[in-house]
Structure 1
Amino acid sequence: MDLSATGDPVVTQADPQVHVGLDLQQGTIVLSQGGTDYEPHHALVEFASPEGQPWTAQEARFSAKGPDGASVALTVDLLNDAYDGPRAGVPEVIWKVVALAATSAGDVGITYEPPTA
């Protein structure tokens, strides 16, 4: 590998965002849009904590297959139009996906040690 690196990484806390991806078992969730059903196989949930505020789920993006087998992306905005609380009318199953993502992001207890040189 022809690469060198120096420095000490620093994480800023001004507007931190976390994206958590989940692989979903196909057939466990059905999303319907415009009369068409889609079976998602992956979800990506975006969380943010702007300026030290509590963490909030902002958006969920789903990768899915339609009835014709074509891949589609579906996005669900999770914040209301004023950006100060959850959007009304979001189906409960999507909030369950958000809860799973939040759990896997912070409560799983992942530990990591970099490899020794």
Structure 2
Amino acid sequence: MKKHRIYTMSFGAVYPHYVTKAEKKGRTKEDVDRIIEWLTGYDTAALERVLDDGTDFETFFAEAPKMNPARDQIKGVICGVRVEEIEEPLMREVRYLDKLVDELARGKALEKVIRYT
């Protein structure tokens, strides 16, 4: 199986784009970090280490402290694809994060974005 390019890309290279997308809509870096913590279990210190050490997406998700078991309830379209229909597990994890950041940037309250509990 050919690896998707995003898997080998540094999470730290993409993270600023998540933050910029949120900030353009009046949200904060802390809001993005809360979403990441909810989804993956990375606290602030662990996230900073990941951002500093060049961890790729594949490793970021594989070594996540505690993937949220409710993440499979995330539904909707991101990049023209329904997240719940993505068969490849790692791509589905990436798109879950994309979807949550997108909802935040669209103005949803943080509590509603991480409503899947």
TM-score, scaled to structure 2: 0.27
- Between 1 and 2, higher relative CO (CA 8 Å, sep ≥ 6) is seen in 2
TM-score, scaled to structure 1: 0.27
Q: Which entry has the higher C-alpha Rg, 1 or 2?
A: 1
